[in-house]
Structure 1
Amino acid sequence: MSAMTDTLTDAFKRIQQTVHRAVDGAPEKVLTFRADGEANTVAWLVWHLTRVQDGHVSDLVGADQLWTEGGWHDRFGLPFDVDATGYGQSATEVAAVRGVSRDDLIGYHDAVCARTLDFVATLDDDDFARVVDTSWDPPVTLAARLVSVISDDLQHAGQASFVRGVAERSGV
């Protein structure tokens, strides 16, 4: 492995650890707690960050998303279009992510993380400069796309941990 793949592997594993800490042992009322009527929940944040990672990594791998291929869409039973990732969703839609088990939140995330780590392990230093998206100016390289996913996921995983802490401190 190169220093870049080692670093990316470490980053994605840290996201996974943070997701586990945010979800493990949390009852439904903590997973769906909202600090106010517009706030995101732990369940929504974890679902969203995993959907985004699934979408980007599946595109990079050239495979169907685990959301559908792995049956997670059916298991979650959310009232959204199969292609929904949470981007731009309303407060009402955020509130609709309920009744999802801890095991499914973690299971889906772990499956996406495993695919991600398997993909990263195949990369060498020359791969990172490859352009993967020309719809941006400048075009997006593989390295930039993976760093973007890490940045977004870490922010949302941290938010999920924060929301869990607020819920628990509030006596939920």
Structure 2
Amino acid sequence: MNSAELLADAFGRVQETVHGAVEGLGADELSVRLDGEANSIAWLVWHLTRVQDDHVADLAGTEEIWTAEGWFDRFQLPFSTGATGYGQRPDDVAAVRVDTPALLLGYYDAVHEHTVGYVRELSEADLDRVVDEAWTPAVTQGVRLVSVISDDLQHAGQAAFIRGVLRRR
């Protein structure tokens, strides 16, 4: 297994976790917040997908799936097209509501497909390409992708935890 295959496998595990957290839930369950400051499943999955979309599009030099495939219009959220969830407040979290898991999973799966298609074509040299010199050491493309996977798995795990709490109530 080479590095690109390893990254594709890791993103596949994120997809499994996201689907496990979201499938079969209704709109109310997706929007539940365990307290007034907590994130909902809908917000967590939207956010992790937006960040992955933003970061991979930047690395690939492509337009984000969010705008390129019309997901911004489908979600009808009160945010700018560039919003990814960073720095959002509790009222913003509450604004992320979806009628069906199909909307969240449709966007997530479109981003996943783009991501895996991109990472499968990367060489070892591509992974060493510096993409952000603002850090010490500078961030390489490989490090950025591992960071996205780490962030995704944390948020997908949080969504799975919330699902578990809701199902036990």
TM-score (norm 1): 0.95
Give the equivalent residue in structure 2 for 1:50: 49
Secondary structure at the aligned position of 1:115 is classed as: helix
Give the equivalent residue in structure 1 for 2:127: 128
Identity %: 57
Contact residue 42 and residue 98 of structure 2 kept, 8 A: no
**Structure 1, unaligned stretches of length 5 or more?**
none
Q: By how many angstroms is 1:100 displaced?
A: 4.3
Paired letter, 2:150: S
How do 1:14-33 and structure 2 match up within 5 A?
Answer: 14-33=13-32
Give the equivalent residue in structure 2 for 1:87: 86
> Aligned partners of 2:92, 2:99: CA distance in 1, in Å?
14
Contact residue 30 and residue 98 of structure 2 kept, 8 A: no
Instruction: Identify which range, 31-40 or 92-101, moves more after superposition.
Output: 92-101
> Aligned partners of 1:56, 1:99: CA distance in 2, in Å?
23
Contact residue 52 and residue 149 of structure 1 kept, 8 A: yes
> Aligned partners of 1:127, 1:83: CA distance in 2, in Å?
26
Give the equivalent residue in structure 2 for 1:138: 137
Secondary structure at the aligned position of 2:135 is classed as: coil
> Aligned partners of 2:52, 2:157: CA distance in 1, in Å?
15
Number of matched residues? 169
Secondary structure at the aligned position of 1:132 is classed as: strand
Contact residue 26 and residue 99 of structure 2 kept, 8 A: no
Q: By how many angstroms is 1:6 displaced?
A: 1.7
| Structure 1 moving runs of 4+ over 3 Å | none
**Structure 2, unaligned stretches of length 5 or more?**
none
Give the equivalent residue in structure 2 for 1:161: 160
TM-score (norm 2): 0.97
TM-superposition CA deviations, 1:99-132 (whole Å, max 9, x none): 3431110010001000110111111111111101
Contact residue 15 and residue 112 of structure 2 kept, 8 A: yes
